[in-house]
Every structure is written in structure tokens, then in C-alpha cells.
Amino acid sequence: MTKEARWSIERSGAIPPPAGSTHGSAYLVRVARGTSKRQVIVEFADSSAVVSNGYAEEVTRRFLRDDEPPQHLVVEASGDVRVQAVPLRAVGDE
């Protein structure tokens, strides 16, 4: 039996890469569960790769079944996804 998603994607959009980042493109994916909302930054290490809102959402979907989504993901040039920042625990809702 498949575990159902706890979070759903509300919207996403391109943002400037976070301060100190060496990656050329980043997206902010906003997810929600009931009245709880979280933000996931998705960065792409390969600036020559085709990146988009849809690709950032696809990467984030892998984590929608988690109790808390990660705060920051990096898609490596190989296509592997690395969790850059772990989820905040018991910090309340945004």
C-alpha cells in the first residue's frame, strides 16, 4: 500500500540563488498541508541543464510524503538530488 502525500505543492517560481551559492539557478516551491505552509528552495548545479518550475516541483514531489519537507535541495549535474538543509522541527507554521 502506498503512503499518501502529506504535503501538496501550492506554487513555485524562479528566485535568485541564496547568498553564498555557487549555483546559477534556483526555484522556490511552496508546499502546504492544511493550514501549515513550508518553503523548499531547489537549486540546480548544472546551469546548462534545462531547468523550470515543473522540474523544481518534480524534485520536491519526492519529499511530499515526509513529515516535514526539506528546506533546501540541490540537483547535481548528474541528476542526483542532495538535501542541503534538513527540515526545521517544531518551529510552527509560516
Number of domains in the chain: 1
For residue 15, what pLDDT is reported?
94
Domain interval for residue 79: 8-85
Q: Where are the beta strands (DSSP E) in 1-80?
A: 8-15, 25-33, 36-44, 72-75
Helix (H) or strand (E) holding 83: strand 81-85
Residue 34 lies in a domain: yes
Residue 27 lies in a domain: yes
pLDDT in tens, 32-79: 999 999 999 999 987 667 788 999 999 999 999 999 999 999 999 888
Residue 91 lies in a domain: no
Residue 93 lies in a domain: no
Residue 57 lies in a domain: yes
